[in-house]
Amino acid sequence: MAIREILKYPHPILKKRCEEIGQIDEDVKELIRDMTETMYHTNGIGLAACQVGVPQRVIVVDVSPLDPEKEFFALLNPEIVFEEGEIEHEEGCLSVPECTEKIKRREKVVVKGLSPEGKPIEIPAEGILSIALQHEIDHLNGVLILDRISRLKRELYRNRLRKERKKEEKD
């Protein structure tokens, strides 16, 4: 197991749709182990493979710090098959540091995918689990929280990044 580097906006991999997992081999299992270790190391509640530079449809999620009744899971090729309601919740993202914004999401979703053992899974979710699943599946589709906020807020964030980069170049 290894802690992998988390890619930061504006890395191009973060804006691409990830490829489906065809075969669950040892590389995929190692990726899941590394993603899990990386997520816990950074105090995240979810992580998508593209965030560690692997453009494949794999997510790991553990919302138990916010909802103790929930447990860790990994999901391959996740897909939202049902959604209803609307909720607004403040979100942050490991790939978009220092950006927390209220994002509108579906209140309830059902997500289907494969377990790391290749078994079909269907996960009904609401609350923080629903939000986390939607956030991570967005990543797999090349969508960041910056794409879900107003153009003004997005430009303010980009301008702040530019200023920080210029300052780092001078130092």
Q: Where are the domains of the chain?
A: 12-170
Instruction: Tokens 């209803």: give the residue.
Output: 84
Looking at residue 106, its pLDDT comes to 98
pTM for the whole structure: 0.94
Q: Quick one: tokens of 164?
A: 């920080």
Query: What does 71-93 look like in DSSP terms, one character per residue?
Result: --EEEEEEEEEEEE--EEEEEEE
Point out the catalytic residue in the list 19, 69, 136, 155.
136
Residue 19 annotated as catalytic: no
pLDDT tens-place values along the chain, 171 residues long: 799 999 999 999 999 999 999 999 999 999 999 999 999 999 999 999 999 999 999 999 999 999 999 999 999 999 999 999 999 999 999 999 999 999 999 999 999 999 999 999 999 999 999 999 999 999 999 999 999 999 999 999 999 998 988 888 887
Residue whose C-alpha is closest to residue 109's, from 71, 135, 70: 135
pLDDT at 1: 78
Q: What is the pLDDT of residue 165?
A: 86
Out of 3.90.45.10, 2.60.40.3670, 1.10.287.130, 3.40.50.300, the CATH code matching 12-170 is: 3.90.45.10
Report helix, strand and coil shares of the chain as percent, to nearest 5. 35, 30, 35
Structure tokens at 33: 């182990």
The pLDDT, as a whole number, for residue 167 is 84
What is the CA angle 166-168-169, rounded to 5? 65
Whole-number Å distance between alpha carbons of 94 and 87: 21
Res 120: pLDDT:
98
Give the pLDDT of residue 171.
Answer: 77
Question: How many CA atoms, within 13 angstroms, populate the side-chain half-sphere of residue 61?
Answer: 25
Q: What is the pLDDT of residue 18?
A: 98
Q: Which of 88, 90, 93 is nearest to 101 (CA)?
A: 90
Query: Looking at the chain, how many residues does it have?
Result: 171
